[in-house]
Amino acid sequence: MLRNIDPVLRGELLKALDELGHGEEFALVDQNFPAYGVGAEVIDLGEIDSSRAAKAIFSVFPLDIFGGSPILRMGIDDHPGVSNEAHDEVRETANRSMGKDWQWEEVPRQEFYGRVKTARLVVRCLESAPYACFLFRKGVI
């Protein structure tokens, strides 16, 4: 065990997050997302929701402050611009970690599936809220 490291951040996850370079993206996806079909490394966090996963990840992960918003989410079919509680909690956690107030970049669901194929890492949790899938762009320290 290590001190001051969230226990959700097992060694394989810390290593994978550390190895991402500036501007590279990782996905945080829910239990329904076809994580193992996108071709990227998948780390399964088990029985935690996206809010808990975000709290752990953003305790160590810097977001990209250059360019557009570094936080993207899957759009809800037939309800553009509408977010759910999981979306709101993850955005709040990401923003609090950086002291910023980024708005989401919303990506329609079908486009999101294609976009995740460019991510270097997929982190899967057992979030049950629909459309609770996200992409985050790594910044610098």
Q: In the chain, what are the domains?
A: 11-137 (3.40.1650.10)
Q: What is the pLDDT of residues 31-54, one digit of tens each?
A: 999 999 999 999 999 999 999 999
Q: Per-residue pLDDT for 2 more than 90? A: no
Mean pLDDT across the chain: 96
Q: What is the mean pLDDT of residues 104-111?
A: 96
Tokens matching residue 85: 């509680």
Residues in the chain: 141
Helix axes 85-98, 50-57, angle to 10 degrees: 10
Q: Per-residue pLDDT for 113 more than 80? A: yes
The rounded percent of the chain whose pLDDT value lies above 90 is 96
* Nearest alpha carbon to residue 52 among 18, 9, 16, 83: 9
Predicted local distance difference test score (pLDDT) of residue 1: 64
Q: What is the C-alpha to C-alpha distance for residues 97 and 79, in angstroms, rounded to an integer?
A: 28
Q: What is the mean pLDDT of residues 64-82?
A: 95
